[in-house]
Structures are given as structure tokens and as C-alpha cells.
Structure 1
Amino acid sequence: MTTTTQAPTTAPPVPESSDGLRIERIEYLDPAEADAAENWANLYLPAGDHEDGSVPLVTIIHGGGWESRAGAEQFDDMARDLAVRGLAVYNLEYRRVGTGGGWPTTFHDVARALDHVPTMAEAHPELSIDDELVIGHSAGAQLAVWGGTRHRLDDDEVGSRPAFVPSRVVSISGPLDMRYAVNHGNGRVIKQILGGTPDQVPERYASVDPIQNLDPDLPVILFHGLADDDVHPNNSRHYTAAVHAAGGRAELNLVDGETHTSLVHRKSPAYQQILDRLTVVATTELAKLRNG
């Protein structure tokens, strides 16, 4: 007997607030376009009252192989930990393979979620989006880095003509060289999300593969565990080398003993180091902007 898992028809409840944090549900697509169960985000706001433009905004894009087996809830801890440090966090959910996603829907959803940032900032004037940081883990790292280079796409490509472009991106365990990843452990999920191999749909790879869409003006910080046997660390090595060759800025942090997922778990020593680095990047750049 074969059983199938039914996709949820409604979004999960908003996580409970704690430590003075406020958590709000954000709907970034028009209801006529959206799947109510998948097209939403949670906005985590730090405790207290804040002046206009004083709270740095960080966006998180979760991974999970672009599949429905993992969702935004896996980054509730990181979102809370960053918000306690005084950052606002926009934790995105989007349609994946198994919940109505795939090519090009998944990419359309993430693009529209990022393009909703200016609208969200109008409702929350305390947010600073002049130097906004986007973080992605695993497949979410591919989406995050792609999201930072959409302004370079042709008008007929999915995600082109962005209303909002982040000014810096963080990749954690990301498959940023998708053609390499197809032949080094990630072939099934990449062929599934893009609908074929690099030979079968080369234009799709060219459009969304981060290493094929370099922007030397986009600073990228990369973290990758050397014990990662899901996404090979060479993905981050290749991307970093390509950015440097193009004259851009990429900071590669290879961490001994860390696996694909341990980097984003509270029990890992590297987790706190990543939080520290993200906090410094977000707050230092905002201070520079405010001080001219």
C-alpha cells in the first residue's frame, strides 16, 4: 500500500514572541497569485521602540534542496538570535518541489519576496534597507546569491527588473557552482528544480547559477564546513576564486569539522561565530550610512 503526504492548505501559525521580540506574519504575494500555505514570511522585530531607519534588516532564505521536506521554521532559532542582537529578520517561505514549486515558480516566489522589502519597510519605518543583508543556507544560499544579482538579468528572465536588490549576501553551505554540483553529489535535486541537466536546459543554468552571474560589486561572505558531505566545499572555493578573478570581494570561511547543517545549529561553536560576523556586518555598515 502506498501513502502520499498531502501538502498543507494553510500556513503554520506565527511563532510565539519571546524575550520582548515581536513576530509578525508577512504576505508578499497578492492573494490571487499566492498559495496561502507557502507564500508567506515571518518578520522578527527586536524589543523596544526604535527610531526610523535604525534597525538593520536581514533576510533569511532556508534550504532543503529546493524541496518541501524543509521549511522556514528551521530558521526560527537563528531569526530569534539575530533579533535579540538588535536586527530585524525577514524569514522567507516559498513554494518548493512538492508544494507547487519547481521551475520557474520557486525563483519567482523568492524574487517577489525580496521585491516586497520596500513595501514592508513603509509599514515598518524603523527598518533600514539601504544596506540590506540576505543570508541563505544550502539551496537557499543559491537563491540568496542569485537574488543579489537579478539586476543583471535580461528582461525575459525570471526575477529580472528587481524592485529591490540586497547590497551584500551570505552563503552558508551553498551550491554556488551548480554545474559542478550536478556531478558532485547534488545532481538529483538540481536537475529536479531546473528541469534537466546543464546540457538539456543550459539557459536555465546560465540564468540562475551564481558562478555564471557574478557581480564584482556584490560583496559575498561564504561559510562552508569541511566535513560537508552534502554540498562539497569546492562549490564555495570555485565561487570565491571566480569572484576574485572578476575583481570582486568574496570572503571564504572554511570550518574544520562542521557538516552541511551543523553550521546553522545552536550547538555548533561555529554558529556563534557566524552570528557574530553577521551582526558586525549589518550594524557596522548601517553606522557608516548614518554617519555619512
Structure 2
Amino acid sequence: MTTHTDDAMPDWEKRFRAPRVGLPEWAEDAPDRSLFVSNATGTFELYAWDRATGIQRQATDRPNGTTDGVLTPDGEWIWWFSDTDGDEFGVWMRQPFGGGPDEPAAPGLEPSYPAGLALGRDGSAVVGRSTDEEGSTLHVVRPGAEPVEIYRHQESAGVGDLSHDGDLIAVEHTEHGDAMHSALRVVRTDGGTVAELDDSEGGTKELGLTVLGFAPAAGDSRLLVGHQRRGRWEPMVWDPLTGTTTDLDLGLPGDVSAEWYPDGSALLVVHSHQARSEMWRCALTPDGLGTPERVETPKGSVSGATARPDGSVEYLWSSAAEPPQVRSTTGAVVLDPPGMKAPGSVPVEDAWVESPGGRVHALVQRPAGEGPFPTVFDVHGGPTWHDSDAFAGQPAAWVDHGFAVVRVNYRGSTGYGRAWTDALKHRVGLIELEDIAAVRDWAVETGLADPERLVLAGGSWGGYLTLLGLGTQPEKWALGLAAVPVADYVTAYHDEMEALKSMDRTLLGGTPEEVPERYAASSPLTYVDDVRAPVYVSAGVNDPRCPIRQVENYVERLEARSHPHEVYRYDAGHGSLVVEERIKQLRLEIEFAQRHLPGLPSAPA
């Protein structure tokens, strides 16, 4: 493992270079065998961990990194997804848990975008695929046999889970045409339908379902499902063989996700509310749930959790001020990588601001000293995502350089109820920017932010909102930093992967040819000539989500105006898994801000 111990290295770089690990996933029938992701070599890769012997080994080693991997139930094999330079288009490979050569895991299946994977105890697998030509397909793969296609549809679909005995397959699909709200179907391995669960029926396409997992016991057909029937994500149990559903109302105000305890007697619940998380153990009774028991965690965010066979819970926890750790309810730190430790940062403060769509929640980090500060509005991607009280190297770096950082959970964000998430349809981008502008004005009025040194920044959907905001709100921003953005919405639609085309049709109500006025109103390219602030753009040349051609179209328009801008193109996809590349990209953004904003403090030593 490669580590860096240079005491002269600035803290912001240490946060990226310090070795970190993800939450270990363990084999269902061999719980001492685990798989986790780490950046210990400087690139995020998969690692196998035999808990019985303590031996850890690096399982994958690719120039652009690897993060998608699964253990077979018996722990004998590691499946991992092999794409090309981050383009997300590839095939599943596998290797023995103890090491050995990689081999195709599903011979006979052509490369595709992944659409779910479930592995059976008999060596079989259910592989979900997505291509622009075929749409979504699901295939049953058995040892020594040709893959058998059991599902095909042009709209988005994917593998949800495979039952313990391997007879039932849960499928998430959007055949009704609403890519934001999935319906569920349970089929047998020959593709025959067992049961349907569709909350979009009756012409209402505003409720979604998601698969949380089959019960972990032979002969148990119960499926844990997430639903939105009360306006937020909550779990329920559905038995597709009997058609019965058991409502699991915990009475918690935020979104609730859950997974089974290994013996099926209880659920491990992660409750997300107002950008923070808490955990509960909920026993299952014949009538539903027993009294929830709090699983104590520090204040902050749980970004992943799993119940172990001994009843303990392992979870990945962090806060804005404290770096992530894989902890256990036994009190132990589960994985503590050797080498340099990431320095902490400053805690977040909560801000609630009235906007045209209601109260907006923002997270604020302040540097030392008195304001008003130069301020970065760091806009999250998704859009169905939310910023939380969790550790992040990028905002911490800006704070180190004397900036305040504001992160806005605009309409479209998760974690604040279904109505908030679904609010951005048709006026895509413009609605989110109304919320960001309201928080921007609050930050100026309260003396937090210097109105002459306001930076709009973000990656992916956040990069899109950055470019759109620079054009539609030119008087509000002094600088723009857009990473892997949507810049020309029409070209992006035609070049992106099919699953994202479905999402855009849902968000905007059709294709660019069907609703051209909506695409024009929501496209940064429409407003490029109104941009006043200097613009920095970074883009991956292999990006299937925000493809490079549409970024170049936007840049050419800036060049035609001789508008101040810089572009950084790198050989990867939608972001990078290489630590030094991430540091380089952030350094370039900071240096761009230092050149173009007046009166910034000196860089930290």
C-alpha cells in the first residue's frame, strides 16, 4: 500500500490522500469473507478481506479504478464490473476470493451498461443490461449454459434481488414511462410473472417503489419494499405469492430505508431527516413491527450499514467535521487503514430559508475570522440526491482557503419528502436555481457572503445548474466552476445513455423534438451569451452521462465571444477514481478562483 506522510502537505490534500475504506460487504453464507473499496494505492479499487485470518488483498488493479463488485453467497468468487476508462460500458468479470486470474463471469453476454445483478446459491446469476439499441434486458446465467433472456423493454428496468432459494426474481421497471417512479414485478427464472406491485396505476404516476431485498431464509418469499404512499420513503413487506402487504409505519418524519437482519427476525432501519441519519432495530411480529429500538450513533450521517450474524451492526459514519470510519455497535472500529489520517474540518450549521417553493434547507461551513467571506455555493448532483452532515474533501478545501461554503438541498433533492423531490418537472433547472438564489440572497443579507466574491460550483447535475445559473442569474455570481456538466441539453440528450434519456423524458415531458421549448428553456447553451462571470469547465472525454460533445458546443460559444474561461479535459468518465487526478482538478479550480476573484486570502501553508 502506498501512503504519503509529508508533513508539509496542506491539510486539504491530506484529506484526499489519506487511505480510506468503504463499508465491507460480506458473503451471506460465509460471513467471514468480505469485500470493500479503498483508495490505499491512490486509486479506488476492490479489496478482499478474510476476517478469519485477517488477510486483506487487492482484488482489482486498473488505471482508472474499480468500485462495482459483489461476492457470491458462498464467498468463493468476486464479481466485478469491467468498463473502459470510466465509460460505464462493459462486462462482468470474476476471480476466486483467494486470488487468481480473472475470467468472464457471464460468457455470451455482450458489453452493456449495468442494470443490476443478483447471484444465486447454485452458481447462477441474474444479470441486468442496458443498451441504446436494446433498451433494458435481464438474463439468467447458469454455469456451462448460454445466457437466457427473460425480460426486455425499451424503458428502464433492472434486477432488484433474487430470493434465497433462487426461484423468484424481483424486477424494478418503468414500463409506464415515468423514469422517476419504478413499479415492481416478481418473476420466476423462466421469466413467467408471479405478481405485480405498481403504485402508478390508475393514471397517477407520482408514487414509486424500490426493492430492498428478499427475506434471508429458504422458503420465505417475503420481499422488503420501499414505498412513497405517505409522501416519503418507508418500508413495507410484500409477499408476491400470497399478495399480502404488511405496512411498517415507524412514525418517523424523514425517509426510511431498511434491510433484513440475517435471521429475518428484525429490520435494520436507517432514518434520514434534515441531512442527518440515525439507526433503529425493529423486530418483526405477525402484526407488523415491534417497538423500535434505537441503535446509537454519533450525530452525523450513516452512509451505509449492515447487520452481522451475531446481531451487531457495522456502519460507515462521518460528519462534516470528522472523517469517515467503519464502526461497529460492539464499540470497535471495523477497518482502520494504515498510514496518514485525514485531518478534520469545521462543522456545518443549518440554515432554513424561504424560497418560492417553500423552506429550503442549506448547510453552511465558515472559515476562521469575520465575514463577509468569499463564498462557494457547492451544488450537489443527482438531482435526486442531497447534501448531508457528512465528511467531504472538496468543501473542506475551500474552507481551508478562506471561503465559506454553502450547500443547498434545492427542490428535486431527496430526504425532504416526495413532493419536494418531484417538484422540478418541466421547469427543470430553473426551479432549483430559484431555491439557490433565495439562499444566496440570505447569505448576503446576513453578512455571511461577500456579494462581489460569490462562486457557483458543482459537478454533474451541480455542474449543469452552475452553467444554467451563470446564464440566467448573471448578476448574482462572480465566478463559475462546472465539472462534468450538462451544457447543451439537446445534444446531451442525443448522446447520453438510454437510461438517462428516459429520465429526461420524464423530467421535461418528452423528447427535444416533442417539447423543444422546454429543452431550450432548461439548456445552459440558450443563455451562454448572457454569462458575465469567468467560467471554468472540466469534463471526462469518456463520460456517458454528460458526454463531451455537448460540453464542446458550449465552450465554442464562449470562445466565439472571447469570454474568459478555461477548460480541462481528462481521460476518464463521469469523474475520476484516481486520487491524484481528483486533487489536480480541485487545485485547478482553486487557482482559477484565486486568479479571478479580488482580495482572496493567501493559500494555507
What's the TM-score once normalised by structure 1's chain length?
0.78
Partner of 1:156: none
In terms of Rg, which structure is larger? 2
What is the identity, as a one-letter code, of the residue corresponding to 1:86?
A: G
Residue from 409, 425, 431 that aligns with 1:93: 409
Q: Is the 8 A contact 1:194 1:204 kept in 2?
A: yes
Please say if 1:24 is aligned against 2:349. yes
SS of the equivalent of 2:563 reads: coil
Q: Are residues 1:49 and 2:369 paired? A: yes
Report which stretch shifted further, 21-30 or 72-81. 72-81
Distance 1:136 1:75, change over 3 A: farther
1:34-93 CA-partner distances (Å, limit 9, x unpaired): 36xxx31111112x323x43x3100111112x3x2x322488332122212322111121
> Residues of 1 paired with 2:410 and 2:433: CA distance?
7
- Secondary structure at 1:193 match in 2: helix
1:201-243: per-residue Cα shift (whole Å, max 9, x none)? 2222221201121125332111011232322111211110122
Seen in structure 2, the aligned counterparts of structure 1 residues 131 and 29 have a Cα distance that, compared at 3 Å, is same
Distance 1:246 1:107 in 2: 24
Q: Is contact 1:56-1:132 (8 Å) kept?
A: yes
Runs of 5+ consecutive residues of structure 2 not aligned to the other structure: 1-185, 187-196, 198-224, 234-253, 255-272, 277-299, 301-318, 323-343
1:29–1:78: structure 2 CA closer, same or farther, 3 Å change rule? same
Aligned-residue offset at 1:129: 2.5
Conservation of the 8 A alpha-carbon contact between 2:428 and 2:507: no
Cα offset, 1:260, TM superposition? 0.3
Cα distance per residue 1:153-191 (max 9 Å; x no partner): xxxxxxxxxxx6212211111111110111111422222
Quote the offset at 1:123 in angstroms: 2.4
Q: 1:110 aligns with which of 395, 408, 433?
A: 433
Match in the other structure for 1:146? 468
Q: What residue is the counterpart of 2:535 in the other structure?
A: 220
Q: Which residue of 2 aligns with 1:160?
A: none
Measure, in 2, the Cα distance between the counterparts of 1:95 and 1:216. Answer: 24
Summarize the alignment of residues 184-223 of structure 1 with structure 2, pairs less than 5 Å apart.
184-185=495-496, 186-214=500-528, 215-223=530-538
Q: How far 1:145 sits from its partner (Å)?
A: 1.1
| 2:546 equivalent to 1:231 | yes
Q: Which amino acid in 2 is paired with 1:121? A: V
| Residue of structure 2 in register with 1:34 after alignment | 358
- Shift of the 71–150 alpha-carbon distance from structure 1 to 2, 3 Å rule, reads same
- Distance (whole Å) between structure 2 residues aligned to residue 79 and residue 111 of structure 1: 22
Q: Counterparts of 2:502 and 2:357 in 1: how far apart (Å)?
A: 29
Cα gap change, 1:151/1:118 in structure 2, threshold over 3 Å: closer, same or farther?
closer
Q: Structure 1, residues 98-152: CA drift from partner, whole Å, max 9, x if none?
A: 6223323763233232233232233244x32313111121122111111112147
Letter in 2 for 1:26: A
Contact 1:134–1:166 (CA under 8 A) maintained in structure 2? yes
| Percent of matched pairs sharing the same residue | 19
Q: Secondary structure at the match of 2:395?
A: helix
Q: Is the 8 A contact 1:25 1:43 kept in 2?
A: yes
- Alpha-carbon distance in 2 for matches of 1:25, 1:121: 16
| Distance in 2, Cα, partners of 1:80 & 1:128 | 19
What SS does the corresponding residue of 1:170 show, helix, strand or coil? Answer: strand
Aligned partners of 2:391 and 2:490: how far apart in 1? 27
Asked if the contact 1:61/1:137 (under 8 Å) is kept, the reply is yes
- Measure the CA separation in 1 of the matches of 2:506 and 2:423: 11
Q: TM-score, normalised by structure 2?
A: 0.40
Secondary structure of the residue aligned to 1:100 is helix
From 589, 592, 596, the equivalent of 1:278 is 589
Higher RCO structure, 1 or 2 (CA under 8 Å, sep 6+): 1
User: Which of 441, 453, 459 lines up with 1:131 in the alignment?
Assistant: 453
Question: SS state of the match for residue 25, structure 1?
Answer: strand
Query: Any unmatched runs of 5+ in structure 1?
Result: 153-163
| Contact 1:145–1:169, Cα closer than 8 Å, also in 2 | yes
Q: Which has the higher strand share?
A: 2
1:171 maps to which of 482, 504, 507: 482
- For residues 354 and 433 of structure 2, the distance between their equivalents in structure 1, rounded to whole angstroms, comes to 10
**Which amino acid in 1 is paired with 2:226?**
T
Q: Contact between 1:206 and 1:213, CA under 8 Å: does it hold in 2?
A: no
Distance 1:75 1:132 in 2: 23
Q: 1:4-19 residue pairs with structure 2 within 5 A?
A: 4-6=226-228, 7=232, 9=254, 10-13=273-276, 15-18=319-322, 19=344
Structure 2 CA distance for aligned equivalents of residues 286 and 216 of structure 1: 16
- Give me the whole-angstrom Cα distance separating, in 2, the residues matched to 1:275 and 1:151: 24
Q: Distance in 2 between matches of 1:129 and 1:271?
A: 29
In the alignment, the residues of structure 1 paired with residue 473 and residue 556 of structure 2 have an alpha-carbon distance, to the nearest angstrom, of: 22
Give the number of equivalent residue pairs: 264
Describe the shift of the 1:229–1:206 C-alpha distance in structure 2 as closer, same or farther (beyond 3 A).
closer
Write the distance in 1 (CA, Å) between the matches of 2:574 and 2:523. Answer: 20
In proportion to residue count, which structure has more helix? 1
* 3-state secondary structure, aligned to 1:132: strand
CA drift of 1:252 comes to: 1.3
Query: In 2, distance between residues paired with 1:243 and 1:141?
Result: 16
Structure 2 Cα separation of the partners of residues 12 and 251 of structure 1: 34
Residue aligning to 2:148: none
CA distance, structure 2, for counterparts of residue 58 and residue 5 of structure 1: 36
SS of the residue corresponding to residue 149 of structure 1 reads helix
RMSD value, Cα: 2.8
In the alignment, the residues of structure 1 paired with residue 429 and residue 538 of structure 2 have an alpha-carbon distance, to the nearest angstrom, of 24
